[in-house]
A and B are shown apart, each in its own frame.
Chain A
Amino acid sequence: MLPVSTDVKSAGKLPFFFLISGIFSLLLSNILLFWAVPDLAAGIYRTPTVWAWAHLFILGFATMVAMGAMYQLVPVALQVSVKSLKLGYYQFFIYAIGVFGLAIGFFSLHLPLLIASGILVFVGFLLFIHNMMCTIRQMTTHTDISKHIMSALIYLLLTVLLGLLFVLNLKWGFLGTFQSHLYYVHFIMGLVGWFTLLIFGFSYKMLPMFSLSHGFGEKRPAKVLLLTHAGVLISIIGALVVNRYIVAIGILIILSAYAQFMLHARDIVLKRMKRNLDIGVKASIVGIGLGCLALLVLVLFIVFYPSEEWILASVLLFIYGWLGFSITGYLYKIVPFLWWTHKYSSRIGKENVPQLKDLTSETLGKKLFILKLVGILLFSISIGFHAMTIMWIMAAVLLVATLIYSVVSIGVFQK
């Protein structure tokens, strides 16, 4: 019998800092959404309010949670200890101050604050990427998961470099009209290259783990990675040469990566031993469907009806649907797990301890995810139709869902 290596250290309390800040940012971004509604209803997104909302959601919520989850899951999924937890704490504070400064800077259009915060966020990102790359480099053999994560980190670095360029351009304006082409590159590398590959990568570990699945195929992840790289590259080329058909081909290739990922996820789910999947896992699976739907709609609009408002609606569905659902879904599982490990792991075997499912509410979870689904779909569609009243109502629905989500998540820490 081969003994298991047990020298991998957990990330301790560090993930809590990121996850709690992430949930707080999600709530703030949903409040800020009310200010962004008029601009979004007009089909415009290059406004300070929309930028404040988008950066708070993407950098404050999605990235903050992604970073916390990585500090927690990289040791688990890749069997290597985080290179420096101390650096992780420094990175958290630098990044968190930068993100909130950036959101305030956009909202008030305060240029010095924007530049200072942008630099802090940039430094925070560099420290994170360095820490994670050093961590992954300790592996002797790379897996599909580590390849996805490394690719995601490279895209993150490129996205951040472009972001810094945009911030500096606010002051000196050296990019000229070329800036609008680079926006697309920024979006695609951040949303697909960084987030999507990261979620794909961790899903290869989390989906079988949470569903107790065995005996599923292992060949698709390599195809998923290759297709995603190809799709990102082609759509970037399309954006730079200003050819919407090339962009559409790139997105279609990314869509085929999603299809492969969906088939892989389906295989895992079909081979599961745990018949009843938890609501968090179900929500993450719904997220995959929303991501596919958003990309399909995006391609159709780019090719047949390239209007700014419908493209914006598709991108919003991608951000709120795919990223939002996947991340909040997995987080609904990760937060109780972290807390249980922190509070009860030393007591297991000595006394009766609660199970993970006792720390959250499945019933409330179902309701809040249904609310979120309705809110996201109708909000996105309303952008296309400039239906501002429905957007206000859906922003309120999303806020209620997020409030419940935050209360349930933070409530875990009292159990």
Chain B
Amino acid sequence: MITKDAVYEKLYEVYDPELGVNIVDLGLVYDVEIIEEKRVNVTMTLTTPGCPLHDSISQGVRNAVHLVEGVELVHVELVWSPPWNPEMMSDAAKAQLGHR
């Protein structure tokens, strides 16, 4: 059975290659939905509209979630609204970027 925790565990392994911080701690993942025990919908955003890593990060999410046992289909929906802001980052992410 696919669980949200299992999906998030894999998403923690997807890093923004520019910042070196994983996308969950960055606050980019808005929602994870599991449908019919085999499909996973990930709703997420990017730190800036027109982020050049747009395709790479989406592909990374698809790759990572596909590694969760039982997942047959992954759909990544990128959204602008609500817009990302630094407050969405975890304390760990802020610390990694040099904030105390």
Contact = CB atoms under 8 A, between A and B. Distances in A.
A212 B20 contact: no
A273 B97 contact: yes
A46 interface: no
B40 interface: no
B77 A79 contact: no
B59 interface: yes
A349 B82 contact: no
Contacts of A210: 18
Nearest to B84: A214
A240 to B, nearest CB: 40
A86 interface: no
B62 A275 contact: no
Interface in B53-94: 53-65, 67, 77-82, 85-86, 89, 94
A338 to B, nearest CB: 9
A1 B50 contact: no
A329 B63 CA distance: 33
Interface residues of A, number: 38
Contact of B80 (A4, A78, A212, A214): A4
Given A1-B79, A273-B89, A76 B47 contact: no
A355 interface: yes
A177 interface: no
Interface string A348-384: 1110011111000000000000000000000000000
B56 A3 contact: no
A353 B13 CA distance: 11
B56 A77 contact: no
B59 A276 contact: no
A79 B79 CA distance: 15
* Interface-centre pick from A4, A76, A77, A344 (highest chain B CB count, 10 A): A4
B1 interface: no
Contact of A350 (B64, B79, B85): B64
A214 B84 CA distance: 9
A355 B15 contact: yes
A47 to B, nearest CB: 42
A209 B97 contact: no
A357 B20 contact: yes
Nearest to A350: B63
B99 A273 contact: yes
A3 B94 contact: no
A4 B54 CA distance: 10
A349 B86 CA distance: 23
Contacts of A346: 59
17 contacts: A1-B43, A1-B77, A2-B81, A4-B80, A79-B49, A212-B97, A273-B86, A273-B99, A341-B53, A347-B63, A348-B15, A348-B57, A349-B61, A349-B64, A349-B65, A349-B67, A355-B18
Interface of A: 1-4, 6, 10, 72-73, 76-79, 205, 208-210, 212, 214-215, 273-276, 337, 340-341, 344-350, 353-357
